[in-house]
Chains A and B, each alone.
Chain A
Amino acid sequence: RKEVEQDPGPFNVPEGATVAFNCTYSNSASQSFFWYRQDCRKEPKLLMSVYSSGNEDGRFTAQLNRASQYISLLIRDSKLSDSATYLCVVVFSGGYNKLIFGAGTRLAVHP
């Protein structure tokens, strides 16, 4: 089983749509969770951290379900500028100095 697994997509959605991405992780002792965004041929950039209580930042909502080892990202009112690859990232307990990346889910928002 892959350490961090994501649906590769692509998700093609119109502007204004709501889209949800899912991610599962294999290590039940995982410590920290993030969503990063990566534009084509660019570096990953932190979108948001994911907390057990769930958290929201504007149009973005992230949720964590530790029992199911599942993380989600919801984007509301999609903009053209949201087009990117969304990377689910996990820090495993005991591996405090490395990020484990999923392969990413590609989102394409069209007019």
Chain B
Amino acid sequence: EPEVTQTPSHQVTQMGQEVILRCVPISNHLYFYWYRQILGQKVEFLVSFYNNEISEKSEIFDDQFSVERPDGSNFTLKIRSTKLEDSAMYFCASSINRGDTEAFFGQGTRLTVV
């Protein structure tokens, strides 16, 4: 069964460092997303991406965040200068159609900023 894969599963970084979280969406999907979940809190939308551009972003997704689809398969989330409060589980998701159809989530990257 096709699945969304994310690497790494766990990343520890020092405050102020840049991190890149990687995702390989399901191959025939057209819409890609990043969500985050701070421990004990709800899943929050960060950004959606379609046709090689951001289609929507939340207020969390400030100038420190960027996304890229550098080739035909990878979808990355970059945090330029990490803060302690960026510590969370980051989920990549993809859907074949827009966001009101089923979204398939990757297993997540747990980011710990120290």
With A43-B107, A43-B108, A44-B91 as known contacts, state yes or no: A32 contacts B42, CB within 8 Å: no
Chain A residues within 8 Å of B12, by CB = none
Give chain B nearest CB distance to A47 CB in angstroms.
11
With A43-B107, A44-B105, A103-B42 as known contacts, state yes or no: A96 contacts B98, CB within 8 Å: yes
- A-contacting residues, B49-71, CB 8 Å: 50, 55-56, 58
Give chain B nearest CB distance to A54 CB in angstroms.
18
Contact A45 B105 (CB under 8 A): yes
Contact B100 A91 (CB under 8 A): yes
Residue of A nearest to B31 (CB): A97
Pick the contact of B58 from A34, A46, A49, A98 — CB < 8 Å? A98
- Answer yes or no: A107 CB below 8 A from chain B CBs: no
Chain B residues within 8 Å of A38, by CB = 43
- Answer yes or no: B20 CB below 8 A from chain A CBs: no
Report the interface size class on chain B.
Answer: 20 to 34
Contact A98 B48 (CB under 8 A): yes
Chain A residues proximal to chain B, CB less than 8 Å: 31-32, 34, 38, 41-46, 49, 87, 91, 95-104
Chain A residues within 8 Å of B48, by CB = 97-98
Give chain A nearest CB distance to B112 CB in angstroms.
13
Give chain B nearest CB distance to A41 CB in angstroms.
8
Contact B91 A98 (CB under 8 A): no
Chain B residues within 8 Å of A43, by CB = 91, 105-108
Cross-chain pairs A/B with CB under 8 angstroms, 6 sampled: A31-B100, A38-B43, A45-B105, A87-B43, A101-B43, A101-B45
Q: How far is the CA of A49 from the CA of B43 in the complex (A)?
A: 18
Contact A99 B42 (CB under 8 A): no
Q: How far is the CA of A98 from the CA of B50 in the complex (A)?
A: 12
Q: How far is the CA of A103 from the CA of B45 in the complex (A)?
A: 13
Contact B42 A91 (CB under 8 A): no
Pick the contact of A98 from B89, B99, B102 — CB < 8 Å? B99
Q: How far is the CA of A45 from the CA of B107 in the complex (A)?
A: 10
- Answer yes or no: B33 CB below 8 A from chain A CBs: yes
With A95-B56, A97-B31, A98-B33 as known contacts, state yes or no: A46 contacts B103, CB within 8 Å: yes
